[in-house]
Amino acid sequence: MKLFGHEAMSRTAIAQFVDGLPPNLKFIEPFLAEDIVHHSLNRDVLDVFGGHWSDAGQRHHFMRAANETEHQAYRNGLTWIEKNGREAAGSLRRLYAHGTTRNFNAGHIAGPLGYAFHALQDSYAPMHVTRKTVGTDHIITKIHVYTQQDSAVHGASDICASKNLDTPLNQDAIAACREFTKMVVVASLERTDPGYLARWTSLWRTFVSMFLREQLAFPAR
Q: Which of 61, 86, 138, 199 binds Zn ion (CB under 5 A)?
A: 61
For 8-19, b/e burial (b = at least 16 CB within 10 A) is: bbbbbbbebbbe
- Quick one: 37 or 92, whose CB is closer to Zn ion? 37
Residue 48 CB-density burial (10 A; 0-12 exposed, 13-18 middle, 19+ buried): exposed
- Quick one: 52 or 98, whose CB is closer to Zn ion? 52
DSSP string, 137-198: EEEEEEEPBP-GGGHHHHHHHHHHHHH-TTSHHHHHHHHHHHHHHHHHHHHHT--SHHHHHH
- Quick one: 95 or 173, whose CB is closer to Zn ion? 173
Residue 158 touching Zn ion (CB under 5 A): no
- Quick one: 31 or 124, whose CB is closer to Zn ion? 124
Contacts of 112 (CB under 8 A, 6+ apart): 83, 84, 85, 87, 88, 91
What distance in Å separates the CA atoms of residue 30 and residue 130, rounded to the nearest whole number?
Answer: 35
Instruction: State the nearest-atom distance from the C-beta of 1 to Zn ion, in Å.
Output: 5
What distance in Å separates the CA atoms of residue 181 and residue 175, rounded to the nearest whole number?
Answer: 10
Instruction: State the nearest-atom distance from the C-beta of 135 to Zn ion, in Å.
Output: 28
Residues 81-120, mask of contacts with Zn ion (x by CB under 5 A): ----------------------------------------
What distance in Å separates the CA atoms of residue 139 and residue 134, rounded to the nearest whole number?
Answer: 7
- Quick one: 39 or 61, whose CB is closer to Zn ion? 61
Instruction: State the nearest-atom distance from the C-beta of 41 to Zn ion, in Å.
Output: 10
- Quick one: 122 or 179, whose CB is closer to Zn ion? 122
Q: How many residues bind Zn ion (CB under 5 A)?
A: 2
What distance in Å separates the CA atoms of residue 161 and residue 169, rounded to the nearest whole number?
Answer: 9
Residue 138 touching Zn ion (CB under 5 A): no
Q: Which residue is nearest to Zn ion (CB)?
A: 61
Residue 122 touching Zn ion (CB under 5 A): yes
Interface contacts to Zn ion, rule CB under 5 A: 61, 122
